[in-house]
Amino acid sequence: MQLPPALHARLAGAPGSAEPLPVERDPAARTAPFRFAPRPVRFPREHDFFEEGDVQRHLYLQDVLTQVGGAPERPRVPEFTCQVAGCCQVFDALEDYEHHYHTLHRNVCSFCKRAFPSGHLLDTHILEWHDSLFQILAERQDMYQCLVEGCTEKFRTSRDRKEHLVMRHLYPVDFRFDKPRKSRGPVMPGAAEQVLAEAPGDDGVPSEVDAMEVCSEHVEPPPAPAGERRAYSHRVPHEDLKGPRREISTSNGGSSAALWRCCRAFPPRRRGPRTLARAALHVAGL
Amino acid sequence: MWSRQRGRLKPLCCGVEELRCRRREREAALRKARREQQLVSKRLLRDEALEEAEEGCVAMIFGEAEIQQFLRLAQRGTEEKEREGALVSLRRGLQRPETQQTFIRLEGSIRTLVGLLTSNQALLQLEAARCLHELSHSEQSAVVEACLPATSYLLTYLSGHSSDFIELCLYTLGNLIVESEAVRRQLLPQGIVPALAACIQSPHLTVLEALGYALSQLLQAKEAPEKIIPSASTDSSVLGSTLPQHMLQLLQPGPKLNLGVAVEFAWCLHYIICSQVNNALLITQGALSTLGLLLLDLAGAVQRTEDAGLELLACPVFRCLSNLLTEAAAEAVGGQLQLRDERVVAALFILLQFLLQKQPSLLPEGLWLLNNLTANSPSFCTSLLSLDLIEPLLHLLSVSNVVLTVLCNVAEKGPAYCQRLWPGPLLSSLLDTLAFSDTEVVGQSLELLQLLFLYQPGAAQAFLQQSGLQALQRHEEVAQLQDRVHALQQTALHG
């Protein structure tokens, strides 16, 4: 099929078109036995007309899917260590490090060191576990927000919310990212273990495998300088400067979580993990 | 799509001829499946991949004891490499249906796998996700449905940040989605649509392509037009979410356009549009404009590159545009957009030429678009004439009789148009088509002849001189054609 040579140039040219020729129909045109009338045609989903294109589409998908399943070949780099304070994981591939970083260090609660899969869940956690204002408001109105993205329902108690998650959203009863707080007082290390014991697939398994808990042996106390801690302590009589897991008492009431919320993430991550990894490589003398 | 080729291809150890043969078999199987309305890509996948997995990488069949051991090691091993290794071995084993069956029947196995999936050990998480992905690929419903306890977590992880992991979760979800309506009845209330709507804002191309795949499978579901697409749906409504706007953004031509991503979302758009739920909404969101620009861009691309795969994008774009053009709303906005721009016609012909060489079976779809563009548009009919495209069009007569319909679209607009159709190769082409035995084709030819006789003086004479009457005689006895044949004979002879 030979196309006029000017066509390609026309495609590259400016938008627009020639003035349409005048339309002038003769009524005799559509008189029986002739019946042609121009009409745009519409095909619904299952129409046979689409068979050919659909088959081509699925052939393509099959090719793509055969390649998805296996673990990809990762370019190996000289070993480097995670740069986050207290974490000593070693890596030899950037993508592995990226996943590690996002899983363990990206959305971490600076109060209790729990890591969460998303910013949304982290925010919810901080609000419900570490914000005393939340507790006060919760006594008077529905504050427990449904965890499902897009659902705006709120509930009076954590239990009501769980029931909603199970009944309405078909979530598992033991959904790991919806652990209720055990007590209203300071969360003791013992209480944390109790929470862990509820996690499924457990039967005596070491805590590492459970719900997004960063193990204490991997992590040192938060790197906040001593000066900052003293600033908090004047409002918070029971703060224990030694233990990272100690919940700060809410007995004083009225303290805003806003200041604490801004420190919730580990040292502010303005750089992504790849930059950090490159820095690590640099440090390793490469 | 292109990122796939970066070393992920399994080494192929069979010859080109064998590949072609396999492809023909797969094509035949897909065609059969489509006719039975069972077109589900994932299903026809595993045997193929298994045959290719020779040379030492054959997955072994594991029994209960072995599976239990791998799981135990993964959960409680002391050495991290050891734990990861156990899961890798398990994953390889899960490529075999026998191992899959044993696995799902083992008490607590899925629970343990989900536990590893949600653990704080990132690399274990990844491997556990890969195991789940293997299971989701299975042809056996029982195996796939065994993955259901993991879905709330897969959806939760879509709002994370690790692109490889999210990609894997998306492909797994895509496989699950396609499995059965029962599975979708769980995924929808769990919030899959809002989760996808949040995830589509990811900057990672691999994530976007995977998301497009999953979404396309969701939209292809039988119940999609009633339960998944409409805005009135409670849980999940694709049209009620921000997904359409994001999809259109991802289809905008420009330096950021990625072919693999665009292919997926063009198909998503096609499934939405051909369900005919609320196409007016898509038009107000600029779908016609975006698709028109994309068509131009595609035509530019086929000229520049030998890139494989452009026809995979051309097909859904043709479909979307063609169907949208039938909407009343399209008439209203037609004025503002590219849809008066003759470059659209130029682009379409460039693509038709490309398809003629690359994938002729898709030509009817391109011609369908040409019909819808020209039917009610004096502007596009004029473009066909002014750009000298009648002769190339005639070249496609043997492909589809929509060519005749398009010519009728032009001719019926009156003498000014017929004048430009005459003289030229049209007459001899018509005499050729009159020799066909296909009644449809002949019928259309008769319609076109009538229009030419009516609007173009001299046409009838020329027709007679070229033994037109004899060509007509052949069809005098055919029921659907008789009346028109006689009428034409009269006109030709007596004016």
Residue-by-residue DSSP string for B278-291: -HHHHHHTTHHHHH
User: For the residues B300-305, what does the mean pLDDT come to?
Assistant: 86
Beta bridge partners of A90: A81
Please report the pLDDT score of residue B298 as a whole number.
Answer: 93
pLDDT at B54 over 80: no
pLDDT at B232 over 80: no
Tell me if the pTM is above 0.90. no
**A29 touches B at CB < 8 Å:** yes
Asked whether this complex has an ipTM greater than 0.90, the answer is no
Distances (CA, A) of B180 to B148, B177, B185, B217, B223: 12, 7, 9, 11, 11
pLDDT at A248 over 60: no
Please report the pLDDT score of residue B277 as a whole number.
Answer: 93
Phi, psi dihedrals of residue B266, rounded to the nearest 5°: -65, -40
CA-atom Rg of chain A in angstroms: 31
Q: Which residue has the tokens 């290794």?
A: B85
Which tokens hold the place of B109? 């196995």
User: For the residues B122-145, what does the mean pLDDT come to?
Assistant: 90
> Is residue B202 within 8 Å of residue B163, measured between CB atoms?
yes
Which tokens hold the place of A94? 């950037």
Report the gap between the CA of B47 and the closest CA in chain A (Å).
10
The one-letter amino acid at B379? S
Residue B113's closest CA among B65, B68, B78, B79?
A: B68
- Residue spans of the domains in chain B: they are 60-190, 418-494
Please report the pLDDT score of residue A89 as a whole number.
Answer: 82
How many other C-beta atoms can be found within 10 angstroms of the C-beta atom of residue A134?
16
Residue B321 confidence class, pLDDT cut points 50, 70, 90: very high
Which of A92-101, B43-52, B262-271, B409-418 comes out lowest in average pLDDT? Answer: B43-52
Picking from B194, B444, B487, the nearest residue to A150 by CB comes out as B194
Which positions ≥6 away from B316 have C-beta within 8 Å?
A: A53, A57, B263, B266, B267, B269, B270
User: For the residues A91-108, what does the mean pLDDT come to?
Assistant: 85
Higher-pLDDT residue of B351, A187: B351
Mutation site for B-interface testing, chosen from A23, A73, A177 by largest number of B Cβ within 10 Å: A23
> Is residue B173 within 8 Å of residue B138, measured between CB atoms?
no
**CB contact (8 A) between residue B190 and residue A17:** no
**CB contact (8 A) between residue B387 and residue A6:** yes
The region that residue A203 occupies, defined by phi over 0 for left and psi between -120 and 50 for alpha, beta otherwise, is left
Mutation site for B-interface testing, chosen from A48, A92, A103, A113 by largest number of B Cβ within 10 Å: A103
Q: What is the pLDDT of residues B291-300, one digit of tens each?
A: 999 999 999 9
> Is residue B289 within 8 Å of residue B337, measured between CB atoms?
yes
Q: What is the pLDDT of residues B89-110, one digit of tens each?
A: 998 899 888 999 999 999 999 9
User: For the residues A63-77, what does the mean pLDDT come to?
Assistant: 68
Residue B200 confidence class, pLDDT cut points 50, 70, 90: very high
Residue B333 confidence class, pLDDT cut points 50, 70, 90: low
Instruction: Provide the 8-state DSSP code for A114.
Output: -
Which sign, positive or negative, has the C-alpha torsion A79, A82, A83, A86?
negative
Residue A7 confidence class, pLDDT cut points 50, 70, 90: very high
**CB contact (8 A) between residue A28 and residue B454:** yes
What is the C-alpha to C-alpha distance for residues A10 and A157, in angstroms, rounded to an integer? 67
Across chain B, mean pLDDT equals 87
pLDDT at A144 over 80: yes
A contacts of B312 (beta carbons < 8 Å): 56-57, 60
**CB contact (8 A) between residue A10 and residue B137:** no
Which of A141-150, A226-235, B186-195, B375-384 comes out lowest in average pLDDT? Answer: A226-235
Please report the pLDDT score of residue B174 as a whole number.
Answer: 93
B contacts of A3 (beta carbons < 8 Å): 349-350, 353, 389, 392
Residue B329 confidence class, pLDDT cut points 50, 70, 90: confident
> Is residue B115 within 8 Å of residue B108, measured between CB atoms?
no
Residues A81-87: contacts with CB under 8 Å, at least 24 apart: A81/A280, A82/A280, A83/A276, A83/A279, A83/A280, A84/A266, A85/A220, A85/A223, A85/A266, A85/A267, A86/A218, A86/A219, A86/A220, A87/A218, A87/A219
**A276 touches B at CB < 8 Å:** no
Report the gap between the CA of A5 and the closest CA in chain B (Å).
10
pLDDT at B59 over 80: no
Helix, strand, coil percent values for chain A (each to nearest 5): 40, 5, 60
A contacts of B190 (beta carbons < 8 Å): 148, 169-171
Q: What is the pLDDT of residues B29-42, one digit of tens each?
A: 888 888 777 666 66
Which tokens hold the place of B263? 């292919």
Residue B1's closest CA among B266, B209, B170, B269?
A: B209
User: For the residues A158-185, what does the mean pLDDT come to?
Assistant: 86
Picking from B276, B316, B417, the nearest residue to A21 by CB comes out as B417
Which positions ≥6 away from B175 have C-beta within 8 Å?
A: B42, B133, B136, B137, B144
A contacts of B203 (beta carbons < 8 Å): none
- The verdict on domain B60-190 having CATH code 1.25.10.10 is yes
**CB contact (8 A) between residue A209 and residue B116:** yes
Please report the pLDDT score of residue B58 as a whole number.
Answer: 62
Which tokens hold the place of B5? 């080729």
Residue B339's closest CA among B304, B290, B386, B284?
A: B290
Residue B336 confidence class, pLDDT cut points 50, 70, 90: very low
**A84 touches B at CB < 8 Å:** no
**What angle (nearest 5°) sits at the alpha carbon of residue A122, between those of residues A119 and A127?**
125
Which of A201-205, B354-358, B367-371 comes out lowest in average pLDDT? Answer: A201-205
Please report the pLDDT score of residue B306 as a whole number.
Answer: 66
Please report the pLDDT score of residue B406 as a whole number.
Answer: 97
Residues 170-229, chain A: which have Cβ within 8 Å of B?
Answer: 170-172, 175-177, 199-202, 205-206, 208-215
**CB contact (8 A) between residue B483 and residue A33:** yes
Max alpha carbon distance in chain B (Å)?
A: 100
Collapsed DSSP state (helix, strand, coil) of residue A80: strand
Q: Which chain B residue's Cα is nearest to A54?
A: B34
Residues 224-243, chain A: which have Cβ within 8 Å of B?
Answer: none
CA dihedral B297, B301, B307, B310 (to 10 degrees): 40
Percent of chain B exceeding pLDDT 90 equals 59
User: For the residues B181-208, what does the mean pLDDT come to?
Assistant: 93
What is the C-alpha to C-alpha distance for residues B399 and B356, in angstroms, rounded to an integer? 10
Report the gap between the CA of B113 and the closest CA in chain A (Å).
8
User: For the residues B178-183, what does the mean pLDDT come to?
Assistant: 88
Residue B380 confidence class, pLDDT cut points 50, 70, 90: very high
Percent of chain B exceeding pLDDT 70 equals 89
What is the C-alpha to C-alpha distance for residues B211 and B383, in angstroms, rounded to an integer? 39
Query: A120: exposed, middle or buried (C-beta count within 10 Å: 0-12, 13-18, 19+)?
Result: middle
Which positions ≥6 away from A207 have C-beta within 8 Å?
A: A193, A196, A213, A215
pLDDT at B123 over 50: yes
Q: What is the pLDDT of residues B383-398, one digit of tens each?
A: 999 999 999 999 999 8
Picking from A23, A148, A200, the nearest residue to B115 by CB comes out as A200
**A152 touches B at CB < 8 Å:** no
Which sign, positive or negative, has the C-alpha torsion B223, B226, B230, B232?
negative
User: For the residues A184-195, what does the mean pLDDT come to?
Assistant: 38
Please report the pLDDT score of residue B371 as a whole number.
Answer: 97
Mutation site for A-interface testing, chosen from B35, B89, B161 by largest number of A Cβ within 10 Å: B161
How many other C-beta atoms can be found within 10 angstroms of the C-beta atom of residue A96?
18
Instruction: Provide the 8-state DSSP code for A101.
Output: I
pLDDT at B68 over 70: yes
